Amino acid sequence: MPNASTAAARQGFAFYTQEASPPALSTINEALTFAGYSPVSERMFDHYRRLVRYGYTSYVPVNELDVAVKASRMGRAS
The string of pLDDT tens digits covering residues 14-47 is 999 998 899 999 999 999 999 999 999 999 999 9
- The full set of domain ranges for the chain reads 6-73
Q: How far is CA 24 from the centre of its chain?
A: 13
Q: Please indicate whether residue 28 or residue 75 has the higher confidence score (pLDDT).
A: 28
Q: Work out whether the CA dihedral 67, 70, 74, 75 comes out positive or negative.
A: positive
Query: How far is Cα 63 from Cα 25, in angstroms, rounded to an integer?
Result: 21
Question: What type of residue is 5?
Answer: S
pLDDT digits (tens, 9 = 90+) for 60-71: 998 899 888 888
In the predicted structure, residue 49 carries a pLDDT above the cut 70? yes
Range 6-14 average pLDDT: 95
